Structure 1
Amino acid sequence: MIGRAHQAASTPRIFGLELSLLDREALAEELLATPHEPAGAKLVATINVDHVVTLRTDQRFRDAYDSAWRITADGAPVYLYARASGVRVPERVTGSDLFATLVERWDPKRHRLYMLVANDEAARRMTRILAERGYDEDTLTIDVPKFGFEKDAAYNEELTARIRAKRPTHIILGVGAPKSEIWAYEHRHALGDAVVLCVGAAIEFTTGLKQRSPMFMRRVGMEWMWRFGTEPRRLFHRYFVRSFGFILAVIADRPRAAELQARND
């Protein structure tokens, strides 16, 4: 099953979750080198503001996060709240940065990859990028699942069987949140022994289908502004309506986080 990261019992939590205390370099090395024990899929989740909001209302998403093996602070507000709550996360580890690091370091002699991506062009471009690193049809499979695949039991049975047959070391889901995390959790027993990474828009950034914000905006936590400027219709509700739910989540969580912090002082 998807295993949890068992950190010290006294580790402060936010929103009831234990965050990884590794920086991006250390986490990438762990994901590249970790033996797949205990057996089962290991979900790596990257929590941002929208995820926090969704966790308040979507129990299936909550179950996926509760079972995650590693959880990183992706969004700047999440990172800042974690630090204020006494969680010693060394830096933000975004899904996009983590995925870009792994793409540069995956080795076809050691790592077998299975990816689910949103469209054919992303599949073609990602295949080309990884082929340049030595990947072929034996070590890399990229599928574009049909629309609404997560609701089709027969299709998912066939898909998970294809995944198991390829024996991937890493399964990368780029079909959106909360769909990716929920699908990984609900099919965890059928995926084999693999690290499962849900990467959001990271595949589109890596393949050039979308342009990521300049580095200075990422460093100051303003990447969301760039993304809104490039996709205002799609992202207006997320950033200017739904995001207020993050404040409510912090208000609800703060007494518990403060109590845990006090215990550790």
Structure 2
Amino acid sequence: MSEKLNLLGYSVFDGILDNYPLSGKVLINTINPHSYCVAEKDEVFRSALKSSDILLPDGIGIVLAARFLKAKQIRKIAGADLHQFCLEKANAEGKKVFYLGASQNTLDKITERLKQDYPNLSVQSFSPPYKTIFSDDENKTMIEKVNAFEPDFLFIGMTAPKQEKWVFEHKDKLNASVISSIGAVFDFYAGTVKRPHPFWIKIGLEWLIRFVKEPKRLAQRNLVSMPKFIWVVLKTKITGQP
């Protein structure tokens, strides 16, 4: 079975995915320093993260915070790692996967790659409108598309916190077993955005390479959220309260 580490008010996954029984409906989300800071100001997002059955430590900052505050060694498990794990399981067992989010071009590229990488799984997808808030009819259509396929694995890629909040609101209506919000992984797997080399991932500097490549888009994450997160960790160490 898995273990959960109480870290800064969140139950962060501290275990091995292979040992977790993915039966029934399982909601998987990720947390990193930026999403932690966003959730501090967004009650719905905070509730969405806390409702996770598995909340993965997707960020070297979370891993280091666990070591600094709890003297606990946990492994970073990124959305891309979760995605690969689920695909391998789905392929081995002949399961069904569904991708909800991103552009049709990205979804087409994902489908083509899946045919080569994981030929034993079944896949469908749907590209919703690109907008901040969906109408009731749009939400209904998205849910119907998913439920008509009844996927074993449902991947949501609408960027955080929109994707987590959408799942939090509609999860009870979704006829899917494992539901995970993995955002940028759609683009990584489609090849429309290149993930940093495994060397940088292994030494914990994936965030830096991504920031160098996309400084404008990731400025808030790295120049605002990261210092705030470090301050929260230091304050927690001193006072015992985040």
- Fold match (TM-score > 0.5): yes
Distance 1:150 1:240 in 2: 27
How large is the RMSD of aligned CA atoms in angstroms? Answer: 2.5
Distance 1:87 1:64 in 2: 27
Distance 1:12 1:97 in 2: 20
Q: 2:194 aligns with which of 204, 207, 211?
A: 211
SS in 1 for 2:23: coil
Offset, 1:108: 7.6
Q: Do the aligned partners of 2:48 and 2:168 also contact (CA within 8 Å) in 1? A: yes
What are the superposed Cα offsets for residues 157-211 of structure 1, whole Å, 9 maximum, x if unpaired?
2211221221111110111001111111110111124211111211211221111
Q: Which runs of 5+ in 1 are unaligned?
A: 259-265
What are the superposed Cα offsets for residues 73-117 of structure 1, whole Å, 9 maximum, x if unpaired?
111111111122227453111112221333344228542111113
Distance 1:249 1:200 in 2: 25
Counterpart code for 1:75: G
Give TM-score scaled by structure 2 length: 0.88
Matches within 5 A, 1:187-198: 187-198=170-181
**Residues 251 and 115 of structure 1: CA distance in aligned 2, closer, same or farther (over 3 Å):** same
Partner of 1:134: 119
Give TM-score scaled by structure 1 length: 0.81
**Residues 252 and 232 of structure 1: CA distance in aligned 2, closer, same or farther (over 3 Å):** same
Q: Which runs of 5+ in 2 are unaligned?
A: none
Partner of 2:29: 45
**Residues 12 and 230 of structure 1: CA distance in aligned 2, closer, same or farther (over 3 Å):** closer
Q: Does residue 86 of the first structure (1) align with residue 70 of the second (2)?
A: yes
Q: Does residue 107 of the first structure (1) align with residue 95 of the second (2)?
A: no
Q: Do the aligned partners of 2:66 and 2:74 also contact (CA within 8 Å) in 1? A: no
**Residues 252 and 64 of structure 1: CA distance in aligned 2, closer, same or farther (over 3 Å):** farther
**Residues 235 and 182 of structure 1: CA distance in aligned 2, closer, same or farther (over 3 Å):** same
Q: 2:152 aligns with which of 165, 169, 181?
A: 169
Offset, 1:151: 2.8
**Residues 35 and 12 of structure 1: CA distance in aligned 2, closer, same or farther (over 3 Å):** closer
Partner of 1:227: 210
Counterpart code for 1:134: P
Q: 1:119 aligns with which of 98, 103, 112?
A: 103
Q: Do the aligned partners of 1:118 and 1:175 also contact (CA within 8 Å) in 2? A: yes
**Residues 14 and 210 of structure 1: CA distance in aligned 2, closer, same or farther (over 3 Å):** same
Matched length: 240
Q: Do the aligned partners of 1:116 and 1:145 also contact (CA within 8 Å) in 2? A: yes
Distance 1:78 1:172 in 2: 23
Q: Do the aligned partners of 1:108 and 1:134 also contact (CA within 8 Å) in 2? A: no
User: Larger RCO: Structure 1 or Structure 2 (Cα < 8 Å, ≥ 6 residues apart)?
Assistant: 1
Q: Does residue 64 of the first structure (1) align with residue 52 of the second (2)?
A: no
Q: Do the aligned partners of 1:14 and 1:257 also contact (CA within 8 Å) in 2? A: no
Q: Do the aligned partners of 2:235 and 2:241 also contact (CA within 8 Å) in 1? A: no
Higher strand share: 2
**Residues 6 and 151 of structure 1: CA distance in aligned 2, closer, same or farther (over 3 Å):** farther
**Residues 6 and 92 of structure 1: CA distance in aligned 2, closer, same or farther (over 3 Å):** closer
Distance 2:169 2:71 in 1: 29
Partner of 2:127: 144
Distance 1:240 1:160 in 2: 37
Q: Do the aligned partners of 1:149 and 1:156 also contact (CA within 8 Å) in 2? A: no
Distance 1:116 1:71 in 2: 20
Partner of 1:34: 22
Q: Do the aligned partners of 2:27 and 2:53 also contact (CA within 8 Å) in 1? A: yes
Identity across the alignment (%): 24
Q: Does residue 21 of the first structure (1) align with residue 2 of the second (2)?
A: no
Runs of 4+ aligned residues of structure 1 deviating over 6 Å after TM superposition are none
Offset, 1:150: 4.1
